[in-house]
Amino acid sequence: MVIKQHASTLGLYTGVRTEMLNPLSQLVSDTMRVPVQPNKAVVGSNAFSHSSGIHQDGFLKESTTYEIMRPEEVGAAEL
């Protein structure tokens, strides 16, 4: 995701379909029978959740402060 978010700065391209990250993570989790930790970056169920308090206030004022990618970009739109 760093390469995708900063492609122009880094001058790199991977061709990875990032919208498949969440579904692939879930498939691996189901196949291996090992749950994905809720706080796992990018693919965890809490990756795009925001609790109350100063963090949520900052997110509501400027979402890119805490969320540099949209859930749709990693296939997490349904979360």
Q: What is the pLDDT of residues 8-43, one digit of tens each?
A: 999 998 999 999 999 999 999 999 999 999 989 889
Taking residues 59-66, report their average pLDDT: 71
Tell me the C-alpha distance between 50 and 53, whole Å. Answer: 9
More confident of the two residues 50 and 16: 16
pLDDT of residue 69: 85
Q: Is the pLDDT of residue 79 over 50?
A: no
Query: How far is CA 34 from each of CA 25, 44, 60, 64, 75, rounded to the nearest angstrom?
Result: 11, 13, 34, 31, 20
Q: Is the pLDDT of residue 76 over 50?
A: yes
| Six-digit token string for 66 | 């805490």
Query: Rounded mean pLDDT of the chain?
Result: 85
**21, 16, 74: which is closest to 48 by C-alpha?**
74
Tell me the C-alpha distance between 56 and 44, whole Å. Answer: 18
Question: Which of the listed ranges 25-34, 40-49, 60-69 does the model predict with the highest average pLDDT?
Answer: 25-34
